[in-house]
Amino acid sequence: MIFNLVYLIFLLISAPYFIISIIRRDKHRIGLLQKFSFVLPTVKTENNIWIHAVSVGEVLLCRPLVAKLKKTNPDFNIVISVTTATGYRMAQKHFTEHNLIFYPFDFTWSVKRILKKINPKIILLAELELWPNFIMTAKKMNIPVAIINGRLTHRSCLGFKRAIKILKPMFDGVDYFWMQTNLYADRLRLLGIDDAKIKKLGSMKYDNLDYTPKNDKIKNITSALNNYPKRIILVAGSTHSPEETYLLNALKPLIKQKKLTLIIAPRHPERYNEVESMIINQKINCIRKTQLDKNQKYIENSIILLDTIGELSQVYGLSDSVYIGGTLIDHGGQNLMEPAALGKAIICGPSIYNFQETYNLLQRAGAIINVKDEQELILECQQNLLNRDLQSIGKLGVEVMRAQAGSTQKHCDAILKILQNA
């Protein structure tokens, strides 16, 4: 009851914003009745496996697992739930054969209705998507719940620890915690989770990697750059302020000397204009990817601003080296796996706690170029980068990524074992 009360208070406080958002934005209207369980989906009521993938990233993560589960046991039906409208659209694209629903709001009456309707044999929650009423209701209905591809950041661990007395029934309702790394598993143990429930199965993200570059969405960038002599291409992926300033200070001389081309992809679309102005103020030409798509001419030595969504991984394929955004500020870094799998030499700062174990693997293999601050970034770019064997460094990263594959099969085996013993 306590969680229902908290949710209701929050709903009342946020009601004006909530109503305006529903009126103004389609994404907040989509699936709303289903989220409250006022409208129930049309699904079979037996032999269901429920997989919850919050949004786009989790949907893509679960593709190989869904395929393996269906192949090994075709009698089971897969029900996939999402939270966001973008996740729903992505799931529609990739899971055409399976039942697709919106995850319910965490009111007891909402989760009880949908759980009775679907009656799953097992519930699989991607990463660490925990909602108290949902999990505790599943526990009362004797439905096993497993965390798949589990991760627990330092910040989340501290938050859970402060509220562990209230949240203990929720954690007790989870039967299996299948974590990506030993570090994440140890954080669960710090919360007092029964060690028998915790197991490291690795990250399924390693099974989702592309090792061959694709360019169907970025042909205009390739064509523009091919009109000029070959030079090093550095892609700065998912950058945050003030990292763009650091990069411009470090790379401006190389750009002016026609030794390097810089492609910047800010993490947040609302910063595109800000970053563009920053580049122009440095007396460097800037052209957006969307302008290239409209056949605007690329001027030599221009910095390319990637102002599109979902194309960064392909742009990584063009590069010789990749700077990982969010690592020279206290943000914890962005995904290193994609550029490493594509064989790109990775430059990153010290703030990498979001992907610590992946970083450690790459670091031990010699596949990382470390810079601790802006000054070291300047030193690396202006004195060392042009003389490094970037291709050899990148190959080391590919070897590391390939060695980590296999987590999806481990998850599949563990799930089928539970279903066979049910």
Give the start-to-end residue ranges of the domains of the chain: 24-202+406-421, 219-403
Q: From the centroid of its chain, how far is CA 65? A: 16
Predicted TM-score (pTM) of this structure: 0.84
Task: Identify the H or E element spanning 264.
Answer: strand 260-266
Q: Compute the distance between CA of residue 271 and CA of residue 76 in angstroms, rounded to an integer.
A: 45
Tokens of 346: 């990775």
Q: Compute the distance between CA of residue 186 and CA of residue 233 in angstroms, rounded to an integer.
A: 39
Task: Identify the H or E element spanning 360.
Answer: helix 356-365
Tokens of 339: 């550029």
- Cα–Cα nearest to 324, from 405, 386, 243, 379: 243
- Environment class of residue 397 by beta-carbon count within 10 Å: exposed (0-12), middle (13-18) or buried (19+)? buried
Query: What's the confidence (pLDDT) of residue 39?
Result: 81
Which CATH code for domain 24-202+406-421?
A: 3.40.50.11720
- In this structure, which amino acid lies at residue 99? N
Query: What's the confidence (pLDDT) of residue 419?
Result: 92
- Cα–Cα nearest to 67, from 408, 417, 349: 408
Q: Compute the distance between CA of residue 80 and CA of residue 70 in angstroms, rounded to an integer.
A: 13
In this chain, the answer to whether the domains covering 24-202+406-421 and 219-403 adopt an identical fold is yes
Instruction: Report whether 210 contacts 281 (CB < 8 A).
Output: no
Range 219-403 classified under CATH 3.40.50.2000: yes
Tokens of 59: 């949907």
Series of mean pLDDT values for 10-residue runs along the chain (422 residues): 77 70 65 81 86 91 94 92 89 91 93 95 94 96 97 92 94 97 94 96 94 92 94 97 97 96 95 97 96 95 94 95 97 95 98 92 97 97 95 98 96 95 76
Strands 99-102 vs 321-324: parallel, antiparallel or unpaired: unpaired
Instruction: Report whether 232 contacts 321 (CB < 8 A).
Output: yes
Q: Could you tell me which residues come within 8 angstroms of residue 269 by beta carbon, excluding any fewer than 6 positions away?
A: 307, 309
